[in-house]
Amino acid sequence: MQQTNLTINGQEHALDADPRTTLLDALRNHIGLTGSKKGCDHGQCGACTVIVNGRRINSCLTLACMHDGDEITTVEGLGQPGNLSPLQSAFVAHDGYQCGYCTPGQICSATAMLQEAKDGWPSNVSDDLAKGQKLTDEEISERMSGNICRCAAYPNIVDAIREVAEGAEA
- Final residue of a structural domain among 51, 78, 105: 78
% of the chain surpassing 70 pLDDT: 94
Report the C-alpha gap between 76 and 169 in whole angstroms. 25
Domain check: are 117 and 59 in the same one? no
User: Do 161 and 100 reside in the same domain of the chain?
Assistant: yes
Q: What is the CATH number of the domain that holds 68?
A: 3.10.20.30
Give, for 15, the enclosing helix (H) or strand (E): strand 11-17
In 3-state terms the chain splits into helix, strand, coil percentages (rounded to 5) of 40, 15, 45
Q: Assess whether 49 and 112 both reside in one domain.
A: no
pLDDT at 14: 96
Instruction: Tell me which residue of 9, 163, 169 sits closest to 87, measured CA to CA.
Output: 163
Same domain, 90 and 74: no
Is there a single domain that holds both residue 91 and residue 36?
no
Of 37, 53, 78, which one is at a domain's C-terminal end? 78
Residues 136 and 165 in one domain: yes
The percent of residues above 90 in pLDDT, for the chain, comes to: 85
Where among 45, 60, 78 does a domain terminate? 78
Helices 154-169 and 103-118 cross at an angle (nearest 10°) of: 40
**What's the CA gap between 111 and 122, in Å, rounded?**
16
| Mean pLDDT in residue range 21-39 | 97
Averaged pLDDT, 27-54: 97
| Domain shared by 98 and 143, yes or no | yes
DSSP character for 135? P
91 and 136 together in one domain: yes
For 68-110, what is each residue's pLDDT tens digit?
Answer: 999 999 999 999 899 999 999 999 999 998 999 999 999 999 9
Sign of dihedral through CA atoms 32, 76, 105, 14?
A: negative
Q: Which domain holds residue 42?
A: 2-78
- pLDDT at res. 170: 42
> Rounded distance, CA 52 to CA 30, Å?
18
Q: Domain tally for the chain? A: 2
pLDDT at 132 over 60: no
Q: Which of 102, 45, 105, 53 is nearest to 75 (CA)?
A: 105
Comparing 36-50, 129-143, 148-162, the range with the smallest average pLDDT is: 129-143
